[in-house]
Structure 1
Amino acid sequence: MQLNCDLGESYGRWTLESESAAMPHIDQANIACGFHAGDPVSIQQTLLLAKQYNVSVGAHPSYPDLQGFGRRSMQCSEQEIIALLHYQIAALEGLAKCAGIVIDYVKPHGALYNDMMSKEDVRRAVFSAIGSYHRSLPLMVLATANQDEIEEQANQAGITLYFEAFADRCYDDNGQLLSRKQAGAVHDIDKTLQQVKQLCESGSVTTHSGKILQLQADSLCVHGDNSQAVEALTAIRKMVEQCR
Structure 2
Amino acid sequence: MNFYAIRAIYLFEMARTWRTLMQSIASPVISTSLYFVVFGSAIGSHMVEIGGVSYGAFIVPGLIMMALMTQSISNASFGIFMPKWSRTIYEILSAPISYVEIVLGYVGAAATKSVILGLLTLITARLFVSFEIAHPLWMIFFLLLISITFSLFGFIIGVWAPSFEKLQIIPLMIVTPLAFLGGSFYSISMLPPFWQKVALANPVVYLISGFRWSFFGVADVHVGISIGMTLVFLTICLTIVWLIFKTGYRLKS
Pick the TM interval, shorter chain.
under 0.3
Q: Which has the larger radius of gyration?
A: 2
Scaled by the length of structure 2, what TM-score is found? Answer: 0.26
Q: Which has the higher contact order (CA 8 A, sep 6+)?
A: 2
Relative to its length, the structure with more strand (as a share) is: 1
Relative to its length, the structure with more helix (as a share) is: 2
